[in-house]
Amino acid sequence: MGSVTHCGILELLARTVISNQVGGNMSSKAAASIVGMMAIALYSGMGMAAADPYQLNLPEPQTIIARQIYDQHTMLLWICLAIFIGVFGVMFYSVLKHRKSVGYKAANFHHSTTVEIIWTIIPFFILVGMAFPATKTIIAMKDTSSPDITIKTTGYQWKWGYDYLTGEGEGISFLSNLATPRAQIENASPKEENYLLEVDNPVVVPVGKKVRIIITANDVLHAWWVPALGVKQDAIPGYIRDAWFTIDKPGTYRGQCAELCGKDHGFMPIVVEAVEPEKYTQWVAEQKSKSAAAVVDVSKEFTMDELKAEGEKVYAANCVACHQANGKGIPGTFAALDGSKVATGPKAGHIDIVMNGKTGTAMAAFKHLSDVQIAAVVTYERNAWGNTAGDVVQPSEINELRK
Ligand SMILES: [Cu+2]
C-alpha cells in the first residue's frame, strides 16, 4: 500500500469511469437505463445520501457551482434522451415500414453530400451548445479569488487534516478521523444512517461566505470530494490544488476520499458543517480556547494512567488500521508492536519512528499529532498488550525534540 504510482492503470481506468459520472435524472426507467446505465451503479453505490439506497440522482446541490453541475447534467440527459428517441425512432420506423415481408427490396444507396453535411453540422451545434455552459462552469469553479476564509486540507493515510489559514478562524488546525465505531464496521449488525460518513471533527464553515479550500496530501494520492458542494479535487503530495464553495443554507454535508488506490480511502470521510455566521464565531472562540489549553498541557506532567488512557484513543484513531487492536499487526505487512524491540527498547528509538516514520515503508511520520498525543501513544504502546517497558513519555520531551 501507499506508493503514489503503484497502480497507475487502474487509477486511469477508474478516473475515466468517475469522470463520466452521470446520475439518472429521468423519471422514466427506460431513459435512465439507457442513458445512465454506465453511471447508475456508480451513484447508487456511493452511498452519498445514505438515507436512500435507491437514490439515482445526484445529491441536492448546495452551492452555485453544484447547482450548475446539477442543471447541466439534467439538461444533458434530456438532450441524450431526445437524440435517442430521434435516432431510434427513424431506425425502427425504417426497419418496420420497409421490411421484406411487405414487399420492399433492398435499395442501393450512394454517397449524399447533403446528408453528410447535415449529420455533421447538427452534432456540431449540439456539442457546442453543451460545451458552452460547461466551460463557463469550469471557469467559475477555478475562480478561487478573494475568499472570506481559506482552509488547507491535507490527506493522510487515513484521515484528513484541516488548517484554517486566513479569515475568521485563522490558526485553527485539527485532524478529522472516521468516527464510525469499529464494532459497527466489523459486524453485520444494522448500520447507522451515516455509516462510514461520520467524523470526530467536522470542518465547520459559515454559510454565505466564500471558502477557498487548498488541497494537498502528505503521503499518497487522496481526493477531497463533497458532492453537494460541487467539489472534487485530487490531493497530490507535493502539489497544491484549490477549489471553493459558498454554502447557501446551514446543514451537514458529507463526502469521502474519492481515491481508489490504497486500502483505506473508503474510511476517511469528509463532513462539512455549515452554520450561521454567529455560530461560526462561537465555534472559532471554542477552538481557540481549546488550543490555548493544549499549549499549557505541553509542560504538564501526566501520570502513566492518564497517558495510557489518552494513548489508547490516539492509537485507535491513527494506528489500529495497520498495527491492529491487539498490537500484533499483520504478519509480513505491518510490524507487530506487541513484543517489538522498538516498542520495548530505548524510548528515543520508539519516539523517532512515530514522529518521523520510516522511509520506504507504510509507517508514515506522525509529527502532525500534538505533543500530548505522541507522548500518550508511545507510552501506551510501551505498556500495552504484553509490553512492560514501565516508563512514560511526557509531552515536554516531544516538544523538546521539535526544536
Ligand atoms: Cu484517501
Model pLDDT, residue 350: 94
Cα–Cα distance for residue pair 351/363, rounded to 1 Å: 13
Of residues 199, 229, 226, the one with CA closest to residue 66:
229
Ligand 1 centroid to 85 CA: how many Å?
41
Ligand 1 centroid to 153 CA: how many Å?
12
Ligand 1 centroid to 160 CA: how many Å?
8
Burial of 58 (0-12, 13-18, 19+ CB in 10 A): buried
Ligand 1 centroid to 57 CA: how many Å?
24
Give 307's DSSP letter: H
Model pLDDT, residue 294: 67
Question: Does the CA dihedral 147-148-153-159 come out positive or negative?
Answer: negative
Give 49's DSSP letter: S
Ligand 1 centroid to 217 CA: how many Å?
9
What the chain holds in terms of domains, given with CATH numbers, is 6-141 (1.10.287.90), 149-294 (2.60.40.420), 304-402 (1.10.760.10)
Model pLDDT, residue 327: 93
* C-beta atoms surrounding 289 within 10 Å: 10
Ligand 1 centroid to 195 CA: how many Å?
17
Ligand 1 centroid to 348 CA: how many Å?
30
Q: Are 60 and 5 in contact (CB under 8 A)?
A: no
Q: Are 230 and 245 in contact (CB under 8 A)?
A: yes
Model pLDDT, residue 24: 32
CB proximity list for 155: less than 8 A, separation 6 or greater: 215, 216, 217, 218, 219, 220, 221, 222, 223, 224, 235, 257, 259, 268
Ligand 1 centroid to 396 CA: how many Å?
32
Q: What does each of the 403 residues of the chain score in pLDDT, given as a tens digit?
A: 333 333 334 343 333 333 333 333 333 333 334 334 344 334 433 434 445 677 888 889 999 999 999 999 999 999 999 999 999 999 999 999 999 999 998 888 788 899 999 999 999 999 999 999 999 999 999 999 999 999 999 999 899 999 999 999 999 999 999 988 877 888 777 788 889 999 999 999 999 999 999 999 998 999 999 999 999 999 999 999 999 999 999 999 999 999 988 888 999 999 999 999 999 999 999 988 877 766 666 778 889 999 999 999 999 988 988 899 999 998 888 999 999 999 999 999 999 999 999 988 889 899 888 888 999 999 999 999 999 888 999 988 998 888 7
Ligand 1 centroid to 107 CA: how many Å?
59
Ligand 1 centroid to 161 CA: how many Å?
11
Cα–Cα distance for residue pair 313/331, rounded to 1 Å: 23
Q: Are 214 and 154 in contact (CB under 8 A)?
A: no
Ligand 1 centroid to 324 CA: how many Å?
19
Sequence length of the chain is 403
Cα–Cα distance for residue pair 104/100, rounded to 1 Å: 5
pTM of the entire structure?
0.65
Ligand 1 centroid to 347 CA: how many Å?
31
Strands in 203-206's sheet, in edge-to-edge order, are 203-206, 269-275, 251-257, 222-226, 231-235
Model pLDDT, residue 54: 79
Ligand 1 centroid to 193 CA: how many Å?
22
Cα–Cα distance for residue pair 147/11, rounded to 1 Å: 32
Ligand 1 centroid to 200 CA: how many Å?
17
127 to 73, 76, 130, 134, 143: CA distances (angstroms): 14, 10, 5, 11, 24
- Verify cis geometry, omega within 30 degrees of 0, for the bond prior to 283: no
Model pLDDT, residue 300: 82
DSSP per residue over 1-16, as a string? ---TTTTHHHHHHHHH
Ligand 1 centroid to 276 CA: how many Å?
30
Q: Are 66 and 77 in contact (CB under 8 A)?
A: no
